[in-house]
Chain A
Amino acid sequence: MERDTAGSPDGSDETVAPGDAAPAASQSAKPSAGDGPETAPAPTEPPRVEIRNVTKRYGSVHALRGADLSLRTGEIVGLVGDNGAGKSTLVNIISGALQPTSGEILIDGSPVSFKTPIDARHAGIETVYQDLALANDLNIWANMFLGRERTVSGPLGKLGWLDRGAMSRQSVEDLKQTKIRIPSVASRVGRLSGGQRQAVAVGRAVAWGSRVVLMDEPTAALGVEQQEKVGELIKTVAESGTPVLLISHNLPQVYSICTRVVVLFHGRIIADLKPAEVDIDEIVGWITGSSLIAKEMAK
């Protein structure tokens, strides 16, 4: 599953190596003997995005009890967990919609703090929302550039005169990466098929998300065939270098496309697994907590 990604200059060995990738909170499911070649991509460069010991409390409720997570170039990390495990809290913290009670977020090794989702976007964190957040009455390029419109140079530009040509050309370029066929960037988004709309939303996120792309249940509303296409799309994004954090209930999909799967359970990340090394039932075991209990018992 792992590919030697562009932009990881360390040329880390094929990561079928039984590297124990689990960071802080717990051990990986398989306490495999290999502490040999270290954790997966040798950390010569800091992770694109790293969160350290992040907690979030709502009054007496601990939604997050200290979560650690890092995303490196080219990774597709699946974030799974049962309802109420803290997934959306974690995602909202990374995307700037919520502020953590404690803990740190680092981008390329330097700490940041987001007061609003706009701050996060300026830092290169883009989110693909479940509802795609597209304006159906606008055409494709207008959706791609909404909120970041380009204006022509000169006095007309000061008045907000749009540079439609530039935006439309750039959108064609950006959407090429998604490899999904789009009729024309001048088409209204409301006229597109579900898969094409998804491609526009993902294409937009990739075009602007220089650090990481968060995807919140991107396939929940799609048919099987389109789910597969979105899966391909996510892989394309990661291959281009931008790490993807995929939040999904669709375990088979997570299992098939992610390079790592982290499991949230009661506000903690209790497992950090590689689909190449575990089977899907084991992931389910961690999600339900039964693997955790088994491990506690074994101690």
Chain B
Amino acid sequence: MSASGTEPTAVAEPDAAETTEPQDTVPWFQRFMERIGPFWTLGVLILLIVAFGIAASSLYTKDAWESTATYAVEYLLLAIGETFVIITGGIDLSVGAMLGFSGMAGALVAQHMLGVHDSSTLTTIVTILVMLACGTALGLINGLLITLLKLPPFIVTLGTLTGITGGINLLNGGNEVSILPAPINSLGIDSVLNGWLPLPVLISIVLAVVFGFVLARTRFGLRTYAIGSNETATRRAGIRVDRHLVRVYALSGFLAGVAGLMVTANLSTAAPINGQNDELYAIAAVVIGGASIFGGTGTIFGTVIGTAILAVLTTGLVLTNVQPFWQQVAIGAVVIIAVAVDRVRTKAGTD
């Protein structure tokens, strides 16, 4: 509420009073939540790390870090794209299926190429390109269906989720592909910084930073928020909303392609079940990160924290020997709690 940046000309007093009024009527805890903003999730993350660390000190080992971070890669990549989509007010249920499809398509190309000749480098490049292109193309189809047919994103991506899942099995008769060029296999297991930073983790962190800036500092990001906040106003402002939405869904598909590459490389296998149910975790990470499912708000920083919470929760429950089924219960509970807290928080923001 600082009056910085504006010179009060001909001040109308009642107006000034009006802006401060909502603050006086909200309860203190709402004001508190408002003050700390999206950082409350960071607090939850630290709390989880401390609590699980007390329960099982093995959480603070390199092994635990490596498995937690590697586990988070696939969800983080999908959640970055999902953040853009959710900020526009849409949803992409097909990210997991796109991951599986691009991984499988790329692996099939690799298998075929390695059978014909053994230029591992060329095969690697083509495989990676096929995976990224498949993801992007599938995302593009989502975007075009949503904007050209004016269908709700939920319905379109529910349809493509099912369709693409079928497509994965059609590609290779429901079988796995494990013949991959060596560089891709090593991409999945190599690391830097004495083994503390696996390559897939490094790549996903770099992408998170890049797309964090794209969202927060560029015209593309600003328009993404604008569409989710007020689509009509954005159209009136002369922005080609449909074209922008197609790009956002294509971006989501592209990142699913990257995730497909990472998962395939990490497992050294393209399996038809890769990516299954991932969309639920990606959406959960975005929502825990503070994005509104109705669009207009959300940050990549929040999404990174949201993903980290899911990953730490999973590792922590494993290390404390909790029956695995409780993990899902816990994640479900966290999603609901996160949204409930956020509701309290944004109420203080007078919307």
List B contacts of A121 (CB < 8 A).
238
A99 on interface, CB distance cutoff 8 Å: no
Among residues of A, the one whose C-beta sits closest to the C-beta of B226 is A135
A190 touching B349, Cβ below 8 Å: yes
A12 on interface, CB distance cutoff 8 Å: no
A193 to chain B, nearest CB (A): 4
Docked Cα-Cα span, A186 to B4, in Å, equals: 9
B238 to chain A, nearest CB (A): 4
B230 touching A136, Cβ below 8 Å: yes
List A contacts of B223 (CB < 8 A).
146
List B contacts of A180 (CB < 8 A).
12, 15
Task: Return the contact of A137 from the options B10, B228, B232 (Cβ within 8 A).
Answer: B228
A59 on interface, CB distance cutoff 8 Å: no
A193 touching B18, Cβ below 8 Å: yes
List B contacts of A132 (CB < 8 A).
233
**Which candidate, B160-168, B170-178, B212-220, B311-319, is the interface stretch facing chain A?**
B212-220
A183 touching B218, Cβ below 8 Å: no
Task: Return the contact of A136 from the options B1, B15, B351 (Cβ within 8 A).
Answer: B351
Docked Cα-Cα span, A134 to B236, in Å, equals: 10
Known: A136-B229, A190-B349. A146 touches B219 (CB 8 A): no
- Chain B count of residues within 8 A CB distance of the other chain: 40
Give the contacts of A169-190 with B (CB-CB under 8 A): 172, 175-176, 179-188, 190
List A contacts of B219 (CB < 8 A).
149, 151, 160, 162
B227 to chain A, nearest CB (A): 9
Among residues of A, the one whose C-beta sits closest to the C-beta of B218 is A160
Among residues of B, the one whose C-beta sits closest to the C-beta of A182 is B6
B214 to chain A, nearest CB (A): 8
Q: Mark B66-95, 1 if CB is under 8 A from A, else 0.
A: 000000000000000000000000000000
List A contacts of B1 (CB < 8 A).
183, 187
A135 touching B15, Cβ below 8 Å: no
B340 on interface, CB distance cutoff 8 Å: no
Docked Cα-Cα span, A162 to B215, in Å, equals: 11
Q: Mark A200-212, 1 if CB is under 8 A from B, else 0.
A: 0000000000000
List B contacts of A168 (CB < 8 A).
5
A86 on interface, CB distance cutoff 8 Å: no
B217 touching A161, Cβ below 8 Å: yes
Docked Cα-Cα span, A148 to B12, in Å, equals: 30
Task: Return the contact of A181 from the options B4, B16, B233 (Cβ within 8 A).
Answer: B16
Docked Cα-Cα span, A195 to B233, in Å, equals: 18
Docked Cα-Cα span, A179 to B15, in Å, equals: 12
Q: Mark B1-37, 1 if CB is under 8 A from A, else 0.
A: 1111111111110111011000000000000000000
B281 on interface, CB distance cutoff 8 Å: no
B237 on interface, CB distance cutoff 8 Å: yes
B233 touching A133, Cβ below 8 Å: yes
Docked Cα-Cα span, A185 to B7, in Å, equals: 11
Task: Return the contact of A138 from the options B5, B218, B229 (Cβ within 8 A).
Answer: B229
Q: Mark A131-159, 1 if CB is under 8 A from B, else 0.
A: 11111111000100011110100000001
A289 on interface, CB distance cutoff 8 Å: no
Most buried by B among A181, A184, A190: A181
List A contacts of B237 (CB < 8 A).
133, 146-148
Task: Return the contact of A186 from the options B5, B16, B225, B232 (Cβ within 8 A).
Answer: B5
List A contacts of B16 (CB < 8 A).
181
A196 on interface, CB distance cutoff 8 Å: yes
Task: Return the contact of A195 from the options B2, B3, B15, B229 (Cβ within 8 A).
Answer: B15
B206 on interface, CB distance cutoff 8 Å: no
A229 on interface, CB distance cutoff 8 Å: yes
Docked Cα-Cα span, A142 to B239, in Å, equals: 13
B12 touching A181, Cβ below 8 Å: yes
A106 on interface, CB distance cutoff 8 Å: no
B58 on interface, CB distance cutoff 8 Å: no
A146 touching B226, Cβ below 8 Å: yes
A135 touching B11, Cβ below 8 Å: no
A160 touching B220, Cβ below 8 Å: yes
B81 to chain A, nearest CB (A): 18
B19 touching A162, Cβ below 8 Å: no
B225 touching A137, Cβ below 8 Å: yes
A191 on interface, CB distance cutoff 8 Å: yes
A135 touching B5, Cβ below 8 Å: no
A160 to chain B, nearest CB (A): 4
Q: Mark B113-145, 1 if CB is under 8 A from A, else 0.
A: 000000000000000000000000000000000
Give the contacts of B182-213 with A (CB-CB under 8 A): none
B6 touching A146, Cβ below 8 Å: no
A255 on interface, CB distance cutoff 8 Å: no
Among residues of A, the one whose C-beta sits closest to the C-beta of B21 is A193
B350 on interface, CB distance cutoff 8 Å: yes
A117 on interface, CB distance cutoff 8 Å: yes
B35 to chain A, nearest CB (A): 14
A123 to chain B, nearest CB (A): 13
Among residues of B, the one whose C-beta sits closest to the C-beta of A129 is B236
A230 to chain B, nearest CB (A): 12
Docked Cα-Cα span, A160 to B223, in Å, equals: 11
Provide 25 A-B residue pairs closer than 8 Å at the C-beta atoms, listed in order of the A residue.
Answer: A118-B238, A129-B236, A132-B233, A135-B234, A136-B230, A136-B296, A136-B351, A137-B297, A138-B222, A146-B226, A149-B222, A162-B218, A162-B219, A176-B6, A179-B9, A181-B6, A181-B15, A184-B2, A184-B5, A184-B6, A186-B5, A190-B349, A191-B350, A195-B18, A196-B15
Query: Taking beta carbons and an 8 Å cutoff, which residues of A are in contact with B?
Result: 117-118, 121, 127, 129, 131-138, 142, 146-149, 151, 159-162, 164, 168, 172, 175-176, 179-188, 190-193, 195-196, 225, 229
